[in-house]
Amino acid sequence: MANWKELYEKFGEFPDEIPKKFMEQIEFMKINNLGTFFDLGCGTGRYSLLAASLGFDVIGGDYSNKAIEICNEKIKLNSSELKIKFQHVDMFDLKFKPNFFDNLIAIHSIQHANTKQVEEVFRSITRILKTKGLVFIVVPSLRNRDYSDKIKVDKYTYQPKTGLEKGVNHHYFDEKEIRILLKEFEIINLEYYEREYAEGKISRQYIVLAKKL
């Protein structure tokens, strides 16, 4: 496990901008599926709170108790009318009933797994979503990565050799794998997304919106 506690103590928020695409996708969810909403690996809750403010009935779940603590502090500052709660979850052991959620998002979270574990998480996501449930996922792409500072764990998974995420699995996806993992879904949008987050440093991701068949 990453030292998420240290990361959250250091940054408060995870240092990344909200992908602009998120706003479009959540609007789509709102029009089609306003209902229950699970934010898997919610971090400090920025997407969960946004979803709750749009009227979804939200559960934000994260492995880090420190992150959940920060989320609960944020709820105190927000209107008590929001339908939202945060709880500790482990994506490798999701205890929700089958067909529980209308919507599920996982933004930069599912990648913290090896290939077998990723398959396991997608099986759980499929199980806990309702038929016609929507899933919105942001994951890193395998394209053009420099892996020289990482140890290879399996075909798609690497671990940084240094830093706060030393030894933590980082799974990099390609389109073919995403389509296989979502074989029980209709893919509404699968988009490659690139952005320079610091000079010469490019973040490469896939943004996926899909509906459970």
Ligand X SMILES: C[S@@+](CC[C@H](N)C(=O)[O-])C[C@H]1O[C@@H](n2cnc3c(N)ncnc32)[C@H](O)[C@@H]1O
**Does residue 100 contact residue 36 with C-beta atoms inside 8 Å?**
yes
| 4, 56, 136, 172: which one binds ligand X (CB under 6 A) | 4
Instruction: Kindly determine how many residues on this chain lie close enough to bind ligand X according to the rule CB under 6 A.
Output: 18
Q: Which stretch binds ligand X (CB under 6 A): 39-47, 74-82, 147-155, 184-192?
A: 39-47
Considering only residues 165-204, where is the footprint of ligand X by CB under 6 A? none
60 binds ligand X (CB under 6 A): no
Asked if 26 interacts with ligand X (CB under 6 A), we say: no
Is residue 145 at the binding interface for ligand X, with CB under 6 A as the rule? no
* SS3 assignment, position 41: coil
> Which CB, 26 or 42, lies closer to ligand X?
42
Nearer to ligand X, 6 or 186 (CB): 6
Under the binding rule (CB under 6 A), the answer on residue 64 touching ligand X is yes
Of 67, 84, 142, 207, which one interacts with ligand X (CB under 6 A)? 67
Bridge partners (DSSP) listed for residue 140 = 205
Distance between CA atoms of 139 and 55, rounded to whole angstroms? 26
Judged by CB, which is closer to ligand X: 90, or 149? Answer: 90
Helix axes 46-53 and 20-33, enclosed angle (nearest 10): 40
Is residue 108 a contact point for ligand X (CB under 6 A)?
yes
Q: What string of DSSP letters covers 168-188? A: --EE-B-HHHHHHHTTTEEEE
User: Residue 36's closest CA among 105, 92, 109?
Assistant: 105
41 binds ligand X (CB under 6 A): yes
- Measured CA to CA, the distance from residue 198 to residue 118 in angstroms comes to 28
Tell me the residue type at 164.
Answer: L
Rg (CA), the chain: 16
CA 124 vs. chain centroid, Å, equals 14
What single letter denotes the amino acid at residue 200? G
Binding mask 73-102 for ligand X (x = CB under 6 A): ----------------xxxx----------
Contact call for residues 135 and 125 (beta carbons, < 8 A) = yes
Contact pick of 3, 30, 32, 63 for ligand X (by CB under 6 A)? 63
Q: How far is the CB of 92 from ligand X (least distance, A)?
A: 6
Provide the binding-site residues for ligand X, judged by CB under 6 A.
4, 14, 41-43, 46, 62-64, 67, 89-92, 107-109, 112
